[in-house]
Amino acid sequence: MSKSPALFRKTRILEGQIDEFLDCITEAGLIFQRAIKIYLEQGASDEFAASTKQSNEIETHGDNLRRIIETQLYEQTLIPDLRADVLKLLEDLDNLINIIQANCYRFTIEVPDIPPEYHKDFMDLTETVVTCVDTVVMSARAFFRNIEAVRDHNSKVMFYETEADKISTKLKTKAFRSDLPKVEKIHLRYFVERIDELANEAEDIADSLAIFTIKRSI
């Protein structure tokens, strides 16, 4: 990073904190992807528990960062014309980590029984939603630094969200047409929907970002 004059040091620190917050979301996505992989291979093992704990820690760190950033934005009356938009963006992004953490806990508590023939679909779904989350984080970064790129990232978010919908529909159809007991079918559907929720949330954030970008460019 280029050396800024002392006058803008506070700004530089805050920029760093926003970047760190966005890193948290990307990292949480990767942790979630690894946690699902472990669960599918080993069930609710100690290694899975460690991943859940990691998601918990990153959620706490993300929350702290968000609060610090929000407080500074208010205290220093920064970006008065876009502050409300940025605060909403940060809270929506924070919600992605919350969903990841909640999903890890759901697996720990409910221990769903996922038959091996669904493992690949579950892994595909997870990878797609995590890519979707990763892309929306890139879009958010672009909103701060390079608004021209927001549109490109957003279109990718839409693409991954549609892909995730396709995989989840395929997965749910396959489950409900199988011989599994009804209760397991419903349980599987529930987990598919909870994982897919991440992509839906990412899409909503991308929609908001599109509007914020128009406002920023006026």
Partner 1 sequence: MDVVVLLFLTSGLFLGWSLGANDAANVFGTAVGTRMVQFTTAAVVCSIFVVLGAVLSGSGAAHTLGKLGSVNALAGSFMAAFSAALTVYWMTRLGLPVSTSQAIVGAIIGWNLFSGSITDTNALFKILGTWVACPLLAGLIAAPLYKLTRIFLKRAKFHLLRLDAYTRAALIFAGAFGSYSLGANNIANVMGVFVPVSPFTDFNIAGMLTFTGIQQLFLIGAVAIGVGVFTYSKKVMLTVGDGLMPLSPVAAWVVVIAHSIVLFLFASEGLEHLLASGGLPTIPLVPVSSSQAVVGAVIGIGLLKGGKNIQWKILGSIGAGWVTTPIISAVVCFVALFFLQNVFNQQVYREVHYSLMPAAMDKAVKLGLPAEDLKDLESQTFKSASKFRAAVRKQTFLSKPQESKVLYYAEISRTSITPEVLGTIDRDWLGEERSKALDSLSGRTFTYKWQLSESLSAKSDLWKSLKETTANKTYNKQIKSKLDYLHRTFAIDD
- Could you tell me which stretch among 112-120, 138-146, 155-163, 180-188 binds partner 1 (CB under 8 A)? 138-146
Query: CA 129 to CA 152: how far, in whole Å?
Result: 18
> Does residue 210 belong to the site contacting partner 1 (CB under 8 A)?
no
Least separation in angstroms between residue 206's CB and partner 1 is 18
Interface residue with partner 1, options 14, 44, 180, 210 (CB under 8 A): 14
> Does residue 6 belong to the site contacting partner 1 (CB under 8 A)?
no
> Does residue 148 belong to the site contacting partner 1 (CB under 8 A)?
yes
Structure tokens at 198: 């991440």
The secondary structure of residue 113, as a DSSP letter, is: -
The answer to whether 216 and 149 are in contact (CB under 8 A) is no
- Could you tell me which stretch among 10-18, 27-35, 57-65, 172-180 binds partner 1 (CB under 8 A)? 10-18
Q: How many residues bind partner 1 (CB under 8 A)?
A: 22
Interface residue with partner 1, options 6, 46, 116, 146 (CB under 8 A): 146
Instruction: Pick out residues in 27-66 that bind partner 1 (CB under 8 A).
Output: none
Cβ contacts of 86-93, under 8 Å, gap ≥ 24:
86/212, 88/208, 89/140, 89/143, 89/205, 89/208, 89/209, 89/212, 90/18, 90/21, 90/66, 91/66, 92/201, 92/204, 92/205, 92/208, 93/21, 93/22, 93/25, 93/136, 93/137, 93/140, 93/205
Please count the other Cβ atoms lying within 10 Å of the Cβ belonging to residue 7.
7
Query: CA 85 to CA 87: how far, in whole Å?
Result: 5
Interface residue with partner 1, options 7, 46, 75, 182 (CB under 8 A): 7
> Does residue 182 belong to the site contacting partner 1 (CB under 8 A)?
no
Per-residue binder mask for partner 1 (CB under 8 A), 104-123, x = binder: --------------------
What DSSP line would sit under 191-212, residue for residue? HHHHHHHHHHHHHHHHHHHHHH
Instruction: Pick out residues in 62-101 that bind partner 1 (CB under 8 A).
Output: 77-82, 86
Site of interaction with partner 1 (CB under 8 A): 4, 7-8, 11-12, 14-15, 18, 77-82, 86, 143-146, 148, 216, 218
